[in-house]
Amino acid sequence: MSLLSPAFRDAMEGWLAHLRALDGASALTIEAYAHDVADFLAFLAEHQGGAGGVQHLARVTQSDMRAWMAAARGRGIGSRSLARKLSAVKSFARWLAEREGFDISAILAAKAPRYARSLPRPLSSDAARDVIATVPLQTRENWTGLRDAAVVTLLYGCGLRISEALSLTGRDVPLGEVLRVRGKGGRERQVPVLPAARDAVAAYLRACPYPVAPEAPLFRGVRGGGLNRRHVAQVMAAARMQLGLPASATPHALRHSFATHLLAAGGDLRAIQELLGHASLASTQVYTAVDSQRLMEIYDAAHPRARG
């Protein structure tokens, strides 16, 4: 940020405030966008010479955009990450151009690199149950084991994102048959809560040494603060090593498993979209590819000569 002019830094702060207030972007998304745009502006300042200012955006050419993307590639940035960076840059440039009244057609014309969207890698039903049974064995205290079991049960049983599970507060308990969740973009949805998830959370609360307060995090760390998502990733990693599962068996894979298993059981794609909190059906349709891929694997295993 040192290469950027004060006016440019102020513009970035205004844009980020806009994202927080109107778009409901998460703190992690805001942080990523800020880094992406700062990286682009610093490149322009060095590429065009002088401290970065609004005039640098106003005179960006297609050659400048190609040079920036080539420099990013040279630093080992992959297609997916570069596409995200370009999206952030376009968002900032569009926001600023509307206020300053300059042309950003060269920026908007830049094409994002193509990349193959990787399919989610869900766990089998048996593996998901094994993970839920093994995760609580990774900590010494009984209450922390019950806590970790409750978290992963919510991920698999309700399809929650890890951030959504860890943002629950004392106001959300005792869990009823339906849980109201605020997801990406501030979008709210209701998800049914299975008895196993209600029981897991209730068992954790009975053992938790900290009182349940409406404003306090539901899931507590050993010192009483909110549970860190890194801890969940660590106990999940330890559990998958014990079970011999692949590195793709992450906390988020439990959410993938929730969606894939619902679809395999005949779940409606639109309903699954609502349960996952996807803004677009296209995000949910990826699970149809996973389900089809799995069916083909089963078919090939049962009929090894089918391709002959």
Residues forming the active site: 161, 184, 252, 255, 278, 287
Q: Is the peptide bond before 174 cis (omega within 30 degrees of 0)?
A: yes
The helix or strand, by DSSP H or E, that contains position 179, with its residue range, turns out to be: strand 178-182
What are the residue ranges of helices labelled H in the chain? Answer: 6-18, 27-48, 54-58, 62-74, 79-100, 105-108, 125-134, 142-158, 162-166, 195-207, 229-243, 251-264, 269-276, 281-302
20: tokens are 């927080």
Decide if 293 contacts 119 (C-beta within 8 A).
Answer: yes
DSSP for 156-174, written as a single string: HHH---HHHHHT-BGGG-S
Three-state DSSP class for residue 105: helix
